[in-house]
Chains A and B, each alone.
Chain A
């Protein structure tokens, strides 16, 4: 795997690039007028451009479900099942609110399900804006739960409710970390 193409490198570069023009304009304006105030292009109203930027990157604990990620690394998906009452949880969680005990086993998720519904994300969030339009589907698994994930298909118009979907696990294109998606069963 190339070390270049990861989301960690790509994203800040991408975001900096799209804001570069506006920021350098404000820089020029501040140098000339002494203030980061510009005229709103739509309304002509004077606007103060925030000189502080808030960059947030959260750190999320995964200790309780680390087995989920270890399984993905081995090419399988696992989730939790309560040993007391048999409830299967997806996304996996280690507490069963029904039994109020923490007594889970990890079970393997089956490889095929049926498409319930889907959409194509055309207008993307900032942190996904370098992606092409992507299809997100909700797939019903035979073990009785749904999984939401991308559906990799060449032609979203061919999708239909009930279509057979195969669960795939691997590294994400251009982002490099291991994840999961669905592909139509041909």
Chain B
């Protein structure tokens, strides 16, 4: 397998983008990525579009973006893995280069969620579990699925709703320094605690917003990367797994098995000691669709013992200066969660972190030059993880 580098990154402003179409937002990110790599659309062999759609009007986003971005007749496909669509699309592009089939591949993650009303979006995401057995008769919602895990944590480990709010506070704090983030306001635990319940015990401020956004990466083979830039960031490998469709079939409600399996696979490939992974990474993006998701990921990825996650959160160990700085771009919680764009947006930000290009106040000290991304689809239905590094694998 050939080595694969990230040689250009771009990201559109996340938020309520009533000013732009899906293709326009995608192009905002593509343009920035091409400018970053100083290459032309002509240099791209192929492109992969991460988009979940359904709430937006265009059913063939890859074709639409291909036309708008001047890529025709270059081949592009859409990849979908719910909220993990972004890393799934990146992995597809990675494989195309690693296998030798392509040299330069453009990855675009894009979502235009605001084309549908909020109740419709709640409906469509709620259906993204097991449709017949969990939605049709019981009206499950996305926060509802994660709330099942939050209830378990609260009852079993003595986690408090305030602990979950601390995660929201941190992510808003870093989001406030990210000009591309959906929310740029700082919040307090009190504000979070007084927000309304959306799926008890989860409140509005525990939840990532409905966001429009796009992000783009240019991936290149080792030879091409050398021609394009001297500040490549390398993809060191992947870990991925799936969970059951029915939430009722999960073995427990105190973590996501798919994350644990994906982490094992990734750490083995990348030579990370699973008993102390934190020492390998300067920064991590963990999938915080809800605050409980970030909490669970801390133990599922091996950074802390199960049931003790809230203790390191209380100690602010997930801020810069702690054992593992998490979601310095604001995370899904404050940066926003434009489903198909989310994972790509994580890698855009981690690349900037490793290149020390993030805004002041949210740039992690880069010592070892490694970063971890964790992208969950649905409620542990899909999990993709990857490691980026400054040094070549």
Asked if residues A148 and B18 are in contact (CB atoms below 8 Å), the reply is: no
Q: Is B198 positioned at the interface, with any CB of A under 8 Å from its CB?
A: yes
* A111-127 contacts to B (CB < 8 Å): 116-127
Closest to B249 in A: A146
- Set of chain A residues within 8 Å of B19, measured between Cβ atoms: 43, 45
Asked if residues A120 and B199 are in contact (CB atoms below 8 Å), the reply is: yes
Asked if residues A125 and B18 are in contact (CB atoms below 8 Å), the reply is: no
Asked if residues A125 and B141 are in contact (CB atoms below 8 Å), the reply is: yes
Contact of A148 among B143, B147, B200, B247 (CB under 8 A): B247
CA–CA, A145 to B122, complex, Å? 28
CA–CA, A186 to B36, complex, Å? 65
CA–CA, A127 to B334, complex, Å? 28
Asked if residues A123 and B253 are in contact (CB atoms below 8 Å), the reply is: no
* B198-232 contacts to A (CB < 8 Å): 198-202
Task: Pick the 3 closest A-B CB pairs, nearest first.
Answer: A119-B147, A128-B139, A125-B123
Closest to A118 in B: B151
Closest to B199 in A: A119
Asked if residues B18 and A40 are in contact (CB atoms below 8 Å), the reply is: yes
Asked if residues A136 and B140 are in contact (CB atoms below 8 Å), the reply is: yes
- How far in angstroms is the closest Cβ of chain A from B146? 9
Q: Is A185 positioned at the interface, with any CB of B under 8 Å from its CB?
A: no
Q: Mark B1-27, 1 if CB is under 8 A from A, else 0.
A: 000000000000000101100000000
Asked if residues A42 and B18 are in contact (CB atoms below 8 Å), the reply is: yes
- Set of chain B residues within 8 Å of A40, measured between Cβ atoms: 18
CA–CA, A117 to B314, complex, Å? 25
Among B127, B130, B139, residue most surrounded by chain A Cβ atoms (within 10 Å): B139
* B142-162 contacts to A (CB < 8 Å): 143-144, 147-152, 155-156
* A125-172 contacts to B (CB < 8 Å): 125-129, 131, 134, 136, 138, 145-150, 156, 160-161
Closest to B245 in A: A91
Contact of B247 among A42, A138, A145, A156 (CB under 8 A): A138
Asked if residues A123 and B123 are in contact (CB atoms below 8 Å), the reply is: no
Given A122-B198, A123-B122, A149-B138, are A91 and B133 neighbors across the interface (CB < 8 Å)? yes
Q: Given A91-B133, A125-B122, A136-B138, list of 19 further CB < 8 A pairs? A: A42-B18, A91-B246, A116-B152, A117-B148, A117-B149, A117-B155, A119-B202, A121-B199, A123-B199, A124-B119, A124-B122, A125-B123, A125-B135, A125-B141, A127-B123, A128-B139, A148-B133, A148-B247, A149-B137
Asked if residues A124 and B141 are in contact (CB atoms below 8 Å), the reply is: yes
CA–CA, A50 to B120, complex, Å? 15
Contact of B139 among A47, A131, A161 (CB under 8 A): A131
Q: Is A179 positioned at the interface, with any CB of B under 8 Å from its CB?
A: yes
A-B contact pairs, 26 of them (CB 8 A): A42-B16, A43-B18, A45-B19, A47-B18, A50-B57, A91-B246, A117-B151, A119-B148, A119-B150, A120-B200, A121-B140, A121-B141, A121-B144, A122-B197, A123-B141, A123-B143, A124-B119, A125-B119, A125-B122, A125-B127, A136-B144, A138-B247, A147-B248, A148-B134, A149-B137, A160-B155
Asked if residues A116 and B253 are in contact (CB atoms below 8 Å), the reply is: yes
Asked if residues B198 and A123 are in contact (CB atoms below 8 Å), the reply is: yes
CA–CA, A147 to B130, complex, Å? 13
**Chain A interface residue number, banded:** 35 or more
- Set of chain B residues within 8 Å of A161, measured between Cβ atoms: 152, 155-156
Closest to B149 in A: A117
Q: Is B196 positioned at the interface, with any CB of A under 8 Å from its CB?
A: yes
Closest to B126 in A: A125
Asked if residues B200 and A127 are in contact (CB atoms below 8 Å), the reply is: no
Among A138, A146, A161, residue most surrounded by chain B Cβ atoms (within 10 Å): A138
Given A43-B16, A148-B247, are A134 and B139 neighbors across the interface (CB < 8 Å)? yes
CA–CA, A3 to B286, complex, Å? 50
CA–CA, A121 to B142, complex, Å? 10
CA–CA, A128 to B123, complex, Å? 9
* A79-135 contacts to B (CB < 8 Å): 90-91, 116-129, 131, 134
CA–CA, A125 to B123, complex, Å? 4
Q: Is A60 positioned at the interface, with any CB of B under 8 Å from its CB?
A: yes
- How far in angstroms is the closest Cβ of chain B from A89? 10
CA–CA, A119 to B146, complex, Å? 9
Q: Mark A29-63, 1 if CB is under 8 A from B, else 0.
A: 00000000000101101010010000000001000
- Set of chain B residues within 8 Å of A47, measured between Cβ atoms: 18
- Set of chain B residues within 8 Å of A128, measured between Cβ atoms: 139
